[in-house]
Amino acid sequence: MATRVGAAPGDDLTVASRRLNAAYQQTLRYAEDVRRLYQQVQRAIYQSLLGLANALEAKDAYTRGHSERVGAWSRGVAAALGLPTGDVDMIGQAGLLHDIGKIGIPEAVLRKPGALVPEEWAVMRNHPLIGAQIVAPFDFFAGGALMIRHHHERWDGSGYPDGLTGDEIPLGARIIAVTDVYDALTSNRPYRVALSHATAIEHLTSEAGRTLDEDAVAVFVTLMQTLSTAKPDVGARSALRPSS
Ligand SMILES: [Fe+2]
């Protein structure tokens, strides 16, 4: 850099250093703005997906409240496992949206009052794939899309859509599977009345290491004990889900 006439070289260096520092600070501010905007866009997209999930709840009475509980419990299990905050958030969001693909299932199947026949089950089993496709355009939610795709996989490989086994199944999907099964068991279905909390926990424990992830089951059981200790009426289904 050219030295001004009459100015000591050190002065120029000081000025240049200040300018450089000011430019650096400005860049940091821009970066912070970009980060904030990106988060706003993510939130807006997520809100839109929630709108879609609400539309599903209007279509399928069973899903009402189910998605929120699965989301909240999955988040709780992920946090109790000590996962990083970003992973905990994504698992909670994927739990909330796990059945979003049911929006693409015909109402005749979705709302059928009786048990489904094999052909209808084949249609119903497409919902994890449809759900993953719905959220696929959002790069920031790629991990969540995988959890949605695999939430019906089973530890022993007997699940769908890909028959993955054990650790091949994304951890978030294994967690969602546990909370999803518990909520399904403790819900009234057209073909079965709701099981008690204790019976559902017994079932989860017997499936741990067989169809369900052993660690996720253990953490979930402890979480439910903690919740029922903090609020004694939580163990009762009616307290978890006000009669609908
Ligand atoms: Fe599902």
pLDDT (tens digit per residue) in 38-70:
888 888 888 888 888 888 877 777 767 888 899
127 Cα–ligand 1 center, Å? 7
170 Cα–ligand 1 center, Å? 15
Is residue 5's pLDDT more than 70?
no
Q: Tens digits of per-residue pLDDT, 75-114? A: 999 999 999 999 999 999 999 999 999 999 998 998 888 8
Structure tokens at 104: 């693409």
Helices (H) and strands (E) in the chain, counts: 11, 0
Which 8-state DSSP code applies to residue 195? Answer: P
239 Cα–ligand 1 center, Å? 23
199 Cα–ligand 1 center, Å? 21
Q: State CA 38 to chain mean position distance.
A: 20
Q: Indicate the Cα dihedral angle 239, 235, 77, 54, nearest 10°.
A: -20
Structure tokens at 125: 């089993």
64 Cα–ligand 1 center, Å? 13
98 Cα–ligand 1 center, Å? 6
Please identify every residue whose CB atom is under 5 Å from ligand 1, which is an ion.
Answer: 99
Q: What's the rounded Cα separation, in Å, for the pair 164 and 18?
A: 58
What separation, in Å, do the N-terminal and C-terminal C-alpha atoms of the chain show?
76
pLDDT bracket for residue 12 (50, 70, 90): confident
143 Cα–ligand 1 center, Å? 17
Structure tokens at 85: 């905050």
SS3 208: strand
Is residue 14's pLDDT more than 70?
yes
Q: Indicate the Cα dihedral angle 128, 132, 135, 139, nearest 10°.
A: 150
139 Cα–ligand 1 center, Å? 22
